[in-house]
Amino acid sequence: MVQLVGSLRKELVDSLSSSKVLVVGAGGIGCELLKNLVLTGFKNIEVIDLDTIDVSNLNRQFLFQKKHVGKSKAQVAKESALQFCPSANIVAYHDSIMNPDYNVEFFRKFMLVMNALDNRAARNHVNRMCLAADIPLIESGTAGYLGQVTVIKKGMTECYECQPKPAQKTFPGCTIRNTPSEPIHCIVWAKYLFNQLFGEEDADQEVSPDTADPEAAWNPEETATRATASEKDGDIKRISTKEWARSTGYDPVKLFNKLFKDDIMYLLTMDKLWKKRKMKICMDMPCVFVYQHFHPHFSLSFILSDQQVLGLWGYCELFQHSVETLRSQLQEKGEGAELVWDKDDPPAMDFVTAAANLRMHIFSMKMKSRFDVKSMAGNIIPAIATTNAVIAGLIVLEGLKILSGELESCRTIFLNKCPNLRKKLLVPCVLDPPSANCYVCASKPEVTVKVNVHKTMVLSLQDRILKERFGMVAPDVQIEDGKGTILISSEEGETEDNNSKFLSDFGIRNGSRLQADDFLQDYTLLINILHTEELERDVEFEVVGEAPDKAPPPQTNQEEVNSITNGNKDSAQPSTSSKAPEEDDDIMIVDSDEEEGVSSSSAAAVSSTTKRKHSDAETGETSTKRPRMEQSSAAASPNDDDDDDIIALD
C-alpha cells in the first residue's frame, strides 16, 4: 500500500526534503515559484538574481512590498518565502548567473535547475551549464496571457538553443539617422542619443545625419552653401556628439537646436531622400521660452501621467528638464562619468520620451505617451500575475516528475490565451529529441559563418559573433592552420593587440576553420568561414542555414478565410471539412513575463517554426503539427500574426 504524506508519496516527500534545487531569477515567475517550492516541501533551495526591486514590480511580484524598493530581489524573496516555511534552508545570491564563480561544479551540486529569467543571453548560458553538468533544467516564460514550461535533459530532449530564435528586430542605421518612418525608429534614435550624450559612446549608435546613406545622391561640396544651419547656438560641427555637448555645458537650448533644427536642415540638403518622402519641419527652442514668458501658467509641474500625450510644448519643456537632471547626475558622478540607460530610471525615461516625441513631430508622426514609449523602448510585454502563477505551478509539477524518476512523462506545456477546440487552455506536448544540427548540444557543434574577411575585425568576431550571436561568455579562439595560432584569448592582455586587425591579416580566408572554446561553459564550437563581399548594408555576418525569421504568408483566398474564422479573432480555427482535423494549438517559445529583448513585431515573426507532435493528456490522441508555411489554405486565418501564433519571445 502506497504511503502518502498529504497528496504526495512518502518517498517523494523525503526526496523533496533532501534534494537541492536552484532557482534562477526572482521576478514575476520566480516569486510565485519560490512560494510554491517551499509550500510543496522543498527544503534546500538556492535562488540567484542580479536585479533590485523597482516600484513597477509590485503589481505582480507579490513577495515584495513598497518598503523593499531598491533592495536585492533574491534576498527579499528569500526572506518573504521563509515566512511560509521557516524550516526551509534558502540561500540567496545577489549576482549574475553568468559570473564565472557559478561554474560547472556549482551546477553539479543541484538535482534540478529551474529558470525564471528575462533575457536570452542568461537563458543560453544556463542551458549550456546544465548540459555540461548533465543536470535537468526546467525552462519557462510568459508573455501577457501566454506561457510555456518545458524540460531540458542532455541527450534526451531538445536544448533551449536547438530551435533557432528570431533575432531582435534591428533597423538600418540610415533609417534611424536620416529617414525614420515609424515611431519605433524615433524611439531607437532617442535611446542612441542618450548613450551618445550621457552614456558609453558606440560608433554603431550615431545619431547625426548619415552622409553615407546610399539613397542620398548628393554632393557635399554643393550642399555646403545650401545648408542654412544656425551660425550661433548648435552650429553643426562633425565632432563627437558627447564632446560637442560637453563644450556647451549640456545647454538644453543648444542641444535642442542642433538635434531638432540644424541636423534637420542638414538632412533637407540631401535632395534625393525627399523625392518620395514627406518633407520635415524644423523647430527652434527659444520660442518655447518666449511662450512660457508670456504664458506663465503653462507648466508641466513634471507630474507626468504615463498615459498622457503632452503635445509639442510639453515635450519641449520635458526635454529641457530631463537634460538638466541628467547633467546634474553626471556632475555628481565626477569627471569622465557615464550614465546607463534604464527604462525604470525616471530622468532617463523622460529624456527618451521627450526626444523621441519631438522627432516624431518633426517627421509628421503621431506622438506617443510615456507609457507607449516605455513599452517600445524596453521591449515590454504587459505582465499578467495570474499567468505567472499558472506557469510557476506547472514548473513544480514537472519538477515532481523529475524527482520521482519519471523524466519520460515530462511534457512541454503551453498556456494559450483562448481555449482550443477541446476547450483546453493548457496544451501538453511530447518533448522533442535533440536536434542533430544544434550548434550547442550536438556531439560536435559546428557552424558556417559568412563574413567579409577583409572588413571583419577580430573584435567584431569576438563581440558580435561569438558573444552576441553564439552566447559565449569568455571565448578563446584558435585558427586551425596547422600552427595552432591563437586569435582570441580570454586571458586579459594576451591578444588585445589583435582586436583592431582584420581576419584576413591572420591568413583567414574562404574555407578557414576556427575553434572557439568557452571553458566556463565547457563548450567548444567549430566555425567554418565562408568569405563573401555581397553582404547587405549594415549586415556584418550571416550564419549559413538558419531559418528565416518569418515565413511567407500562406496562400489563401478571402472566401476560404471567411469559411473558417468564426468566433474570437485571436484564434485561428481549423478546417471543418471531412478531412482529419488538425488542432491549431500553436507552439509558443515564450521567454519571460518582463522581457527586454523583444518587440511585438518580433513576437509574431516566427510563424515558420516547426510545430511538434503532441499527445493529448486525456485522450492519448496524437496529431502531427506541420510548419505553418506548409499548412493548407483551409487552415489559414487572416489573423496569423495574433497572439495564438507560434511565438518566440526573448
Q: Tell me: is residue 537 an annotated ligand-binding position.
A: no
Q: Tell me: is residue 580 an annotated ligand-binding position.
A: no
Q: Tell me: is residue 230 an annotated ligand-binding position.
A: no
How far is the CA of 101 from the CAs of 4, 93, 95, 474, 499, in angstroms?
Answer: 40, 11, 10, 13, 27
Q: Tell me: is residue 623 an annotated ligand-binding position.
A: no
In the numeric block, the cell 595552432 is attached to 484
DSSP-based three-state secondary structure for 514: strand
Residue type, 186: C
What is the Rg, in whole angstroms, of the alpha carbon atoms belonging to the chain? 27
Q: Tell me: is residue 58 an annotated ligand-binding position.
A: yes
Q: Tell me: is residue 186 an annotated ligand-binding position.
A: no
Q: Tell me: is residue 159 an annotated ligand-binding position.
A: yes
Please choose, from the candidates 286, 290, 236, 225, the residue with its C-alpha nearest in 3D space to the C-alpha of residue 259.
236
Tell me what percent of the chain is helix, strand and coil, each rounded to the nearest 5: 35, 15, 50
Q: Are 430 and 614 contacting, i.e. CB atoms less than 8 angstroms apart? A: yes
Q: Tell me: is residue 370 an annotated ligand-binding position.
A: no
- Measure the CA–CA gap between 116 and 50, rounded to whole angstroms: 12
Q: Tell me: is residue 177 an annotated ligand-binding position.
A: no
Residue type, 266: Y
Q: Are 488 and 477 contacting, i.e. CB atoms less than 8 angstroms apart? A: yes
Q: Tell me: is residue 420 an annotated ligand-binding position.
A: no
Q: Tell me: is residue 121 an annotated ligand-binding position.
A: yes
Q: Are 437 and 163 contacting, i.e. CB atoms less than 8 angstroms apart? A: no
Cα atoms in the 13 Å half-sphere on the side-chain side of 16: 21
Q: Tell me: is residue 73 an annotated ligand-binding position.
A: yes
Please choose, from the candidates 407, 408, 413, the residue with its C-alpha nearest in 3D space to the C-alpha of residue 429.
413
Q: Tell me: is residue 30 an annotated ligand-binding position.
A: yes
The catalytic position among 31, 130, 174, 316 is 174
- Measure the CA–CA gap between 73 and 146, rounded to whole angstroms: 24
Q: Tell me: is residue 57 an annotated ligand-binding position.
A: yes
Q: Tell me: is residue 643 an annotated ligand-binding position.
A: no
Q: Tell me: is residue 418 an annotated ligand-binding position.
A: no
Q: Tell me: is residue 108 an annotated ligand-binding position.
A: no
Q: Tell me: is residue 438 an annotated ligand-binding position.
A: yes
* Sign of torsion over alpha carbons 257, 258, 263, 268: positive
Relative to beta strand 20-24, strand 112-115 is parallel
Residue type, 295: H
174 is known as an active-site residue:
yes
Q: Tell me: is residue 41 an annotated ligand-binding position.
A: no
- Measure the CA–CA gap between 73 and 31, rounded to whole angstroms: 9
Q: Tell me: is residue 123 an annotated ligand-binding position.
A: yes
Q: Tell me: is residue 29 an annotated ligand-binding position.
A: yes
Q: Tell me: is residue 327 an annotated ligand-binding position.
A: no
DSSP state of 476: E
- Residues near 523 by Cβ (< 8 Å), separated by ≥ 6? 128, 132, 440, 445, 472, 517
Q: Tell me: is residue 612 an annotated ligand-binding position.
A: no
Q: Are 593 and 650 contacting, i.e. CB atoms less than 8 angstroms apart? A: no
First to last CA, the chain: 47
Known binding positions: 25-30, 49, 57-60, 73, 96-97, 118-123, 159, 162, 438, 441
Catalytic residues: 174
Known binding positions for Zn(2+): 159, 162, 438, 441
Known binding positions for ATP: 25-30, 49, 57-60, 73, 96-97, 118-123
